[in-house]
Structure 1
Amino acid sequence: MAENSNQPRDYDAVKGGENSAPVGGVVLGGLEGVRMRFCSPVVEARVAALKEALNYGTFGLDLVIQALNDESMQIKKAAYLLLRERQETKVKLALKKYNHWKFFECLHTLEGHSHYVESVAIAPDGQTVVSCSPGDEGIINLWNLHSGKLRTTNLFRYSAYVNCIVISPDGQNVIGGGSQEEGIAIWNLHTGELKNTLRGHLYRVKSVAIAPDGQTLASGSWDKTIRIWNLHTGELKNTLIGHSDYVRSVAISPDGQTIVSGSSDNTIKIWNVHTGELRNTLIGHSDWVMSVAIAPDGDTLVSGSWDKTIHIWNLHTGELRNTIKARSSHILSVAISPDGQTIFSSGENGTIKLWNLHDGKLRNSLKEHSKRVNSVAISPDGQTIVSGSSDNTIKIWGVR
Structure 2
Amino acid sequence: MREHDLVSSSSAALEGLKGIRYRLRGGSTKEKVAALLEAFQYGPKGIDLVIQALGDGVREVRELALLLLSYSSEATAEQALWNYLPFAKMQCLHTLTEFNLDCYKPEQHHPYYFAIADYNNTLICYWDLSYKQSFVNIWHLETGQSKKDFDLAMAHEFGLGKSGKVCIISFQDFLWPLDTETQEPIGTYPDYLMRTVQAHPHCLAVCPTKQPLVATGYTQGRTGKLDIWDYQTYTRRLHHQFQDVALIPYDNSWNQSKLNLWLTTPLLFTPDGKFLVARFKQRLQNRLQMWNTETGELTQTLDNLPTLTVNSLANRLDGQVLACGIRENKACVWELISDRILYTSSGVAPCLISSDGRVLIYCTDNYEIVVWDLAMNRKLCTLQGHTAPIGYVAMSSDRNFIVSYSIDRKIKIWGVPESLKYL
Say if 2:119 and 2:165, in contact at 8 Å, map to a contact too.
no
CA shift, 1:118, in A, is 2.9
Partner of 2:342: 322
CA shift, 1:261, in A, is 2.4
Q: Does 1:294 align with 2:295?
A: no
- Identity among equivalent positions (%) equals 22
CA shift, 1:350, in A, is 4.3
**Structure 1 unmatched runs, 5+:** 1-83
Q: Distance in 2 between matches of 1:296 and 1:175?
A: 27
Residue pairs, 1:321-400, within 5 angstroms: 321-326=341-346, 329=348, 331-332=349-350, 334-338=351-355, 340-346=357-363, 350-358=367-375, 361-400=378-417
CA shift, 1:325, in A, is 3.1
Say if 1:384 and 1:398, in contact at 8 Å, map to a contact too.
yes
Change (3 A) 1:306 1:255: closer
Aligned residue for 2:134, secondary structure, equals coil
Partner of 2:189: none
Change (3 A) 1:200 1:111: farther
Change (3 A) 1:228 1:348: farther
CA shift, 1:283, in A, is 4.4
Q: Distance in 1 between matches of 2:143 and 2:371?
A: 23
**Structure 2 unmatched runs, 5+:** 1-53, 57-61, 70-74, 100-105, 187-191, 249-264, 418-423
Partner of 1:231: 231
Aligned partner letter, 1:313: W
Q: What does the per-residue CA deviation read over 1:137-157, in whole Å, with 9 as the maximum and x for residues that have no partner?
A: 310111112111111112x42
Aligned partner letter, 1:239: H
CA shift, 1:221, in A, is 5.3
Say if 1:126 and 1:145, in contact at 8 Å, map to a contact too.
no
Aligned residue for 2:79, secondary structure, equals helix
CA shift, 1:210, in A, is 1.2
CA shift, 1:357, in A, is 2.4
Q: Distance in 2 between matches of 1:362 and 1:306?
A: 21
Change (3 A) 1:130 1:323: same
Q: Does 1:181 align with 2:172?
A: yes
What is the count of residue pairs matched by the alignment? 309
CA shift, 1:109, in A, is 1.6
Q: Distance in 1 between matches of 2:127 and 2:365?
A: 17
Q: Does 1:150 align with 2:180?
A: no
Change (3 A) 1:322 1:339: closer
Partner of 1:245: 246
Change (3 A) 1:215 1:168: same
Say if 2:219 and 2:225, in contact at 8 Å, map to a contact too.
yes
Partner of 1:42: none
Give the number of the structure whose alpha-carbon radius of gyration is greater: 1
Q: Does 1:192 align with 2:183?
A: yes
Partner of 1:213: 210
Say if 1:287 and 1:305, in contact at 8 Å, map to a contact too.
yes
Aligned partner letter, 1:94: Q
Aligned partner letter, 1:158: A
Aligned residue for 1:102, secondary structure, equals helix
258, 266, 272: which one pairs with 2:292?
Answer: 272
Partner of 2:253: none
Q: Please, what is the CA RMSD of the aligned residues?
A: 3.5
Partner of 1:110: 96
Partner of 1:70: none
CA shift, 1:344, in A, is 1.8
Change (3 A) 1:341 1:390: same
TM-score (norm 1): 0.65
TM-score (norm 2): 0.62
Aligned residue for 1:158, secondary structure, equals coil
Q: Distance in 2 between matches of 1:310 and 1:280?
A: 21
Change (3 A) 1:337 1:237: closer
CA shift, 1:190, in A, is 1.7
